Structure 1
Amino acid sequence: MENKHYDINYLQNSRRLLINLKEHSYKFFRSINNGTIIDLGCGAGNDVIELAKITGKDLKIIGVDHDPVMLQKAKEDSKEINNVDFILSEACPLPFEDGTISGLRTERLIQHLKNPEKVIAEINRILKKDQPLVIIETDWNSLSFYTEFVETQKNVNTYLTNVKVNNGFAAEKLINYLQLSNFRDIKFEIHPFVVNTLKEANEYFWIEKMIQEAVEKGYIKEQEYHAFYKALQKADDENHFACSINLVLASCIK
């Protein structure tokens, strides 16, 4: 787990921040009346459960994830829901036949992939023609703090985008990935999120943990870390703390 930028608690905390964006992403699937919708990289299954609530009972909602601990939690939480299922699988290859899936949603997955183009092509393979794909992704390069320590922040962002996250510029490359796999009617939305306490920044973005790791990896010096974090604490104490990041939503059809 130490190599991941998430665990179950992290996903649950960030869900509270992203709930409106998540609900917005579900709307792309409301017109689908039958077949199967996939939530790829479903984690603990919350989005699978929510999708099942707003779609018809003739639809099957399947969550796919490579983490058995996450899927066990998902199965426990959804045991009373008949039209959901969970499959343990990597993102490529996917255990579905060509052109059999009625819609696919994936959130904050592409950033973790070393070969995102292959996964997007695999998604294209399993989707039926004219059916939707919706991707939510974090733009880690947009992470901003409002202190005088601009260079320290740049180095923290460099650590996040180049080292911590496998594909830290995934959000900026999404349109190109989709075009390479010949998806159509691509729409792109930018959703900014702002938190105003250091506590929230640590809950939602693991800020202190990420800065400490940047020190350990040599991206910032120990004294830079202390000065930077002291400035964040001071801003928090004086009620003018701000931290912002963009998430993007890309929608398209096969």
Structure 2
Amino acid sequence: MTTRGAARPDQGAYMLRTAAMDAGRAYKEELLRLLDPKPGGTVLDVGCGPGTDLPALAAHVGPEGVVIGVDRDPAMVAEARRRTGDLPGVEVRQGDAHDLPVAPGSVDHAKADRVLLHVDDPAAVLAGLYTATRPGAVVGLVEPDWETLIVDAPDIATTRAFIRFVLGHTVRNPTVGRGLGRLAARAGFTVESVHATTPVLRDAEAADHTLGLGRNLERAVAAGLIGADRAHRWFDGLMEGPFQASFTLFTVVARH
């Protein structure tokens, strides 16, 4: 079986395209509004990827402020530096979210956007973020809860098998979104708000890109969890449409 979305996309291109989609723009704009970086402040972007959000953060803190992007992937760091090379006050550092390359108590605002679902120890990352921030600092966290994933298809059994595969095999912490408030509080932060948004995807090609429908379906087939013919019929039905899928993103705003 070959599906349209089977090949794993370039991660930088994937992140940039996802951020440019309507659902991506909406939650990122809301996160920036809630984070509310101030002129002259120091902002930390944990897991900055190709630098998608660094220009907007830099615009908020102005020429007197500092924006620090951190990512463990050398390719992401290189791309983020290329994209922000002409922005004063923007620094991109290679480092792990579990061991942030910033001085303790040096950050006024911080964000971690869809990072904790991939890390080994979300609680340890948040503890490190608490150490990096000053008293009064504001932190914004965004994570999906993949157990809320819904894909409309007549073959509900295959849909459920696909979602079980996503939960068990695609990311380390697929349900971390629902626990963001609890994890932030246990790290020492005061949780000020918890927001849930549900992007609804109605374009099959865009959803295939965002959710990895084709490539994850092929992995489920290779693992013997879904039969090839059954998977092929399910995927073709999705692509023929009409299409609808959704999932829930949780946004937590907390204060040191």
For the 8 Å contact 1:28–1:132, the answer to whether it is kept is no
Q: 2:14 aligns with which of 10, 28, 31?
A: 10
Q: Give the distance between the partners of 1:142 and 1:224, measured in 2 at CA.
A: 23
Q: Give the distance between the partners of 1:19 and 1:81, measured in 2 at CA.
A: 21
Q: Give the distance between the partners of 1:28 and 1:188, measured in 2 at CA.
A: 11
SS in 1 for 2:107: coil
For the 8 Å contact 1:42–1:48, the answer to whether it is kept is yes
SS in 2 for 1:130: strand
1:21 deviates by 1.2
1:5 deviates by 8.4
Q: Give the distance between the partners of 1:250 and 1:157, measured in 2 at CA.
A: 25
Q: Give the distance between the partners of 1:49 and 1:105, measured in 2 at CA.
A: 14
Which deviates more, 207-216 or 223-232? 223-232
Q: Which residue of 1 aligns with 2:95?
A: 89
Q: 2:76 aligns with which of 54, 70, 77?
A: 70
User: Structure 1 residue 182 and structure 2 residue 184: aligned?
Assistant: no
For the 8 Å contact 1:30–1:55, the answer to whether it is kept is no
Q: 1:33 aligns with which of 29, 39, 51?
A: 39
1:218 deviates by 2.5
SS in 2 for 1:190: strand
AA aligned opposite 1:134: G
Q: Give the distance between the partners of 1:138 and 1:170, measured in 2 at CA.
A: 7
Q: Which residue of 1 aligns with 2:3?
A: none
Q: Which residue of 2 aligns with 1:232?
A: 238
Q: Which residue of 2 aligns with 1:138?
A: 144
1:6 deviates by 6.7
1:133-212 equivalences under 5 Å are 133-212=139-218
SS in 2 for 1:73: helix
* Residues 23-81 of structure 1, C-alpha deviations (whole Å, 9 max, x = no match): 11112343523341100000000201111122222210010000111111111111111
Q: Give the distance between the partners of 2:63 and 2:71, measured in 1 at CA.
A: 23
Structure 1: which 5+ runs fail to align? none
For the 8 Å contact 1:130–1:253, the answer to whether it is kept is yes
> Are residues 185 and 174 of structure 1, via their aligned partners in 2, closer, same or farther at CA, if it must alter by over 3 Å?
closer
The alignment's C-alpha RMSD in Å is 1.8
Q: Give the distance between the partners of 1:51 and 1:31, measured in 2 at CA.
A: 7
Q: Which residue of 1 aligns with 2:59?
A: 53
SS in 2 for 1:129: strand
- Give the aligned length: 248
Q: Give the distance between the partners of 2:33 and 2:203, measured in 1 at CA.
A: 31
Q: Give the distance between the partners of 2:225 and 2:249, measured in 1 at CA.
A: 24
> Are residues 176 and 143 of structure 1, via their aligned partners in 2, closer, same or farther at CA, if it must alter by over 3 Å?
same
Q: Give the distance between the partners of 1:153 and 1:171, measured in 2 at CA.
A: 22
Structure 2: which 5+ runs fail to align? 1-5
AA aligned opposite 2:248: N
1:103 deviates by 1.1
Q: Which residue of 1 aligns with 2:252?
A: 250
Q: Percent identity?
A: 21
With normalisation by structure 2, the TM-score equals: 0.91
1:141 deviates by 1.6
For the 8 Å contact 1:175–1:186, the answer to whether it is kept is no
Which deviates more, 148-157 or 14-23? 148-157
SS in 2 for 1:176: helix
Q: Give the distance between the partners of 1:131 and 1:182, measured in 2 at CA.
A: 12
For the 8 Å contact 2:153–2:238, the answer to whether it is kept is yes
1:154 deviates by 1.8
For the 8 Å contact 1:112–1:167, the answer to whether it is kept is yes
